[in-house]
Structure 1
Amino acid sequence: MLYNFLYPLADQIAVFNLFKYITFRTVCATLTALIVSFMLAPRLIVWLRTWQKQGQPIRADGPESHLLTKKGTPTMGGLLILIALSVSTLLWADLRSPNVWIVMLVTLGYGLIGFLDDYLKISKKNPKGLPGRMKLLGEIAIALIAAYWVFTLQREPLAGALAVPFFKMMLVQLSWFYLPFAVFVVVGAGNAVNLTDGLDGLAIVPVMIAAGVFAVISYLVGHAVFSNYLQIHYVPGSGELAVFCGALVGAGLGFLWFNAPPAMVFMGDTGSLALGGALGAVALVTKHELVLGIVGGLFVLETVSVIVQVTSYKLTGKRVFRMAPLHHHFEKKGWAEPTVVIRFWIIATILGLAGLSTLKLR
């Protein structure tokens, strides 16, 4: 919004020329989201505590310590992230860019689904929330709209194509089969982050790391000179998503201040679904869907642990892990919660660096 109003005045007021630069607006978006989070959080947390009273329902089959340490903690803290992210993005991004609106559609749409899920959990005092089938159908519908929008916006040879990391300018043409693949990426990302969100600070830091990596990717992919130098596919207009990713980092930092152990608030599905969906949508626009699997490898591991656990139990009656998702397995083994969280952060950092390396290793 500020770009659209102020940059045209750069001829009269030279300082407004700063708004031309995506890097400047990305930094401003990060700081704006952080400030909004700090300003809004205290009142929002008080309101959530007053409304929810008993806080988020705790799984009876979860780690025993959670019944003591997490009881009474309010959920829906994802509202804080979404408000800060939306305000900052709308202020600093170029609102003429359809790529910004595609990512915002997925983020807020998935946030709404997560909100309904959290609301039902609280109102019914039941950790199950929204029926799984209804939840999945909503996620697929939103992802399909976004995928089709991306498909129609991108020109040949990018439209309907899958870029392969580590290979120079390599594309695999999927044509219309790209749509179900794209839906899988967005839905999978949303639910993977949702599964990871089980300990104080566990999900938000890997999300920020992934957002930081994709801020760099978005900027480079959207810059004709840099993309040509790195021999990656140039996607016009994708640079604006660096502003969105910067805002996501800032909103995440603000949330982490209140989610650090012991957490004052949980993000809930309101936040986890929205953030995962956002990362998936950014990956679609930047043609780095496969790189998301590397950068978000921690989320993939968590999801795979659940799939392996369920499959093994149904086929053999035996469990591979003491509990799934994976972070609960290590809790059951006796690891302290901060130990699990910090070690998972380290893994996420390594995977983020590995994802960045794909830009050069070709």
Structure 2
Amino acid sequence: MLYHLLYPLHTTLAAFNVFRYITFRTIYASLTAFLICFFLGPWMIRKLREMQVGQYVRDDGPQTHLKKAGTPTMGGTLILVATVASILIWMDLLNFYVWVILMAVVGNGTIGFLDDYLMQVKKRSKGLSARQKLMLQFAVALAVGWMLYQYPGFDTRLTLPFFKKVSPDLGWGYILFAALVITGTSNAVNLTDGLDGLAIGPVIVASVTYMIFAYVTGHVRIAEYLQINYVPNSGEISIFCGILAGSGLGFLWFNAYPAQVFMGDVGSLSLGAAIGTVAVITKQEIMLILVGGLFVIEALSVIFQVGFFKLTKGRRIFRMAPLHHHFELKGWPEPKVIVRFWIISVALALVSLSTLKLR
């Protein structure tokens, strides 16, 4: 909105020319998202308490979690509001990719909100079934993949890290591939969201990392210099990544240990879908394995645990899955698990950025 209202005035007053720069808008968009979360957070937490939207805690997990019962959840609504508002204020609304991302974020946020609403407000024990939730997520992701496939000039080739000349073209199969990436990332973030601030920290790290990827892939000269795929108009996505990081920091203010609010599915599903969609648009889909490595590890720990349990008729690999609960049951204090997982996330992000030169 500000971009469309103020940038045209640069012909009259040169100072408005700053709205042309992606870097300028990224900084202030991220600050806008942070401030919306920061100032709206206390009001939302109070409203969630009044509505008695409290977190249910399993009694078969770490016993230290029992004191968290009743902590307000569905706080991801705050992230969603801050993110969408900042997009509308600072981004170029004529950019096709902006609307693709909005579809992914709002679509998955709506699914998560419905699940949380049925469980927390309507007091249904399970909310949406796992099957229902997955089918809805995949439907939204397929729509996103189809939109990208239909967009003139969008490249359906994959970018493989370390291999600048290996780029297989998936053709129409890219629609399915994109849907798998987006849905998988969404659920991986959801599985990671089990401790105070555990999921939002790596989300911030991934957002900043993809902010850099989006900027270089959307800049023709830098992309040519680094020998990576140039994606026209994708530079605008770096603003969205800044917004995601800003809203994440604002939410972390209230979600840091000991948490005043949890994000719920409305937050985790939308955040995961956002990161997955950005990875697809910037042609850094495979790199997501590194950038979001912590989410991958958490998801795999659940898959391996369930598979091993069924195959061996009751035996387990970990004391409890996802992996963060395993370390808690080994005696690690919750803050130690959180910070060490954050450190892993930062290290993986740095390795992923190094691949821009290692090709």
Query: Same fold by TM (over 0.5)?
Result: yes
Give identity over the alignment, percent.
56
Tell me which residue corresponds to 1:359: 356
Tell me which residue corresponds to 2:231: 235
CA distance in 2: counterparts of 1:203 and 1:234, whole angstroms: 30
Are residue 216 (structure 1) and residue 212 (structure 2) matched?
yes
Shift of 1:128: 2.8
**Cα contact 1:58–1:127 (8 A) shared by 2:** no
CA distance in 1: counterparts of 2:337 and 2:85, whole angstroms: 33
TM-score if structure 2 supplies the norm length?
0.97
Tell me which residue corresponds to 2:160: 164
CA distance in 2: counterparts of 1:24 and 1:56, whole angstroms: 39
**Cα contact 1:80–1:255 (8 A) shared by 2:** yes
Are residue 113 (structure 1) and residue 116 (structure 2) matched?
no
Tell me which residue corresponds to 2:91: 93
**Where in structure 2 are the equivalents of 1:112-131 lying within 5 Å?**
112-123=110-121, 125=123, 128-131=126-129
SS in 1 for 2:267: helix
CA distance in 2: counterparts of 1:128 and 1:336, whole angstroms: 29
Tell me which residue corresponds to 2:148: 150
Which of the numbers 281, 286, 292 marks the counterpart of 1:290? 286
Shift of 1:141: 0.7
**Cα contact 2:104–2:141 (8 A) shared by 1:** yes
Shift of 1:162: 1.1
Tell me which residue corresponds to 2:222: 226
**Cα contact 1:169–1:232 (8 A) shared by 2:** no
**Where in structure 2 are the equivalents of 1:13-162 lying within 5 Å?**
13-52=13-52, 55-68=54-67, 70-123=68-121, 125=123, 128-155=126-153, 159-162=155-158
CA distance in 1: counterparts of 2:323 and 2:152, whole angstroms: 38
Shift of 1:61: 2.5
Q: Please report the RMSD computed on the Cα atoms of aligned residues, expressed in angstroms.
A: 1.1
**Cα contact 1:152–1:159 (8 A) shared by 2:** no
Structure 2 spans left out of the alignment, 5+ residues: none
CA distance in 1: counterparts of 2:316 and 2:152, whole angstroms: 45
Identify if the C-alpha distance between structure 1 residues 211 and 62 changes in structure 2 by more than 3 Å, giving closer, same or farther. same
Shift of 1:129: 2.1
Which of the numbers 330, 337, 345 marks the counterpart of 1:348? 345
**Cα contact 1:196–1:203 (8 A) shared by 2:** yes
**Cα contact 2:51–2:121 (8 A) shared by 1:** no
Amino acid at match of 2:99: W
Structure 1 spans left out of the alignment, 5+ residues: none
SS in 1 for 2:63: coil
SS in 1 for 2:12: coil
TM-score if structure 1 supplies the norm length?
0.97
Shift of 1:280: 0.4
Shift of 1:62: 2.1
Cα displacement string for residues 126-184 of structure 1 (whole angstroms, at most 9, x for unaligned residues): 563211111111101100010011111152xx532211111225311111111111111
